[in-house]
């Protein structure tokens, strides 16, 4: 607290206060008024002036700036993923086309897959995978079989109908 007394009987008091991150400067002036009557000087009143001057506070971010950055980042991620997917499809263009699924041997139910038999689960899984693969445009089912159990044939027909609902399917019959 600084005090200054001047020769004309006025006293100025200046003080500064800092509150946390916001600052305010408070100035209090006390002036001793004097009046002149008949060439004599006598003090009559004291006036007190108190004023607060706000100091510059820290720059506050706009309330919408977080939302703006979120949208910018989200848009950027969408663009990046779109480019990655496009690059994947264009780079694998040579693998697009027709797949051939071979059914050779007697049709049986289950997972059998050897030189003499083919399981309905094996053929069905290959048909479903080919139908769901976006890189395959059509399916050729190559059948070289003397026949088999009716249950195995029914399971293969069910998976064949599923594949036909998604892609063109062509059946090629062999000699057996």
Runs of H (alpha helix) within the chain: 65-91, 120-132, 150-166
Query: According to the CATH classification, is domain 93-173 in 3.30.470.10?
Result: no
pLDDT of residue 20: 45
Instruction: Say which range, 14-23, 85-94, 135-144, has the weakest mean pLDDT.
Output: 14-23
Residue 127 has what pLDDT? 94
How many other CB atoms sit within 10 Å of the CB of residue 153? 15
Q: Once rounded to an integer, what is the mean pLDDT over residues 77-89?
A: 90
- pLDDT band of residue 125 (cuts 50, 70, 90) is very high
Whether this model's pTM surpasses 0.85: no
C-beta separation of 101 from 140 below 8 A: yes
Residue 164 confidence (pLDDT) above 90: yes
pLDDT at 116: 86
Residues contacting residue 34 through CB under 8 Å, at least 6 positions apart: 8, 9, 41, 42, 43, 44
Give me the residue spans of the domains in the chain.
7-54, 93-173
């Amino acid at each position: 607290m600084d005090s200054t007394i001047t020769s004309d009987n006025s006293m100025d008091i200046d003080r500064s206060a800092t509150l946390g991150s916001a600052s305010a400067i408070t100035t209090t002036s006390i002036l001793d008024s004097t009046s002149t009557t008949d060439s004599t000087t006598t003090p009559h009143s004291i006036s007190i002036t108190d004023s607060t001057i706000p100091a510059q506070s820290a720059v506050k971010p706009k309330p919408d700036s977080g939302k703006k950055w979120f949208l910018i980042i989200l848009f950027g991620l969408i663009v990046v993923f779109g480019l990655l997917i496009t690059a994947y499809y264009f780079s694998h263009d040579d693998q697009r086309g027709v797949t051939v699924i071979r059914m050779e041997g007697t049709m049986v139910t289950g997972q059998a897959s050897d030189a003499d038999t083919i399981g309905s689960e094996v053929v069905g899984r290959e048909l479903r995978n080919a139908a769901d693969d976006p890189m395959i445009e059509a399916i050729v089912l190559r059948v070289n079989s003397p026949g088999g159990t009716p249950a195995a044939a029914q399971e293969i027909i069910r998976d064949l109908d599923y594949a036909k609902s998604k892609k063109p399917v062509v059946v090629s019959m062999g000699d057996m």
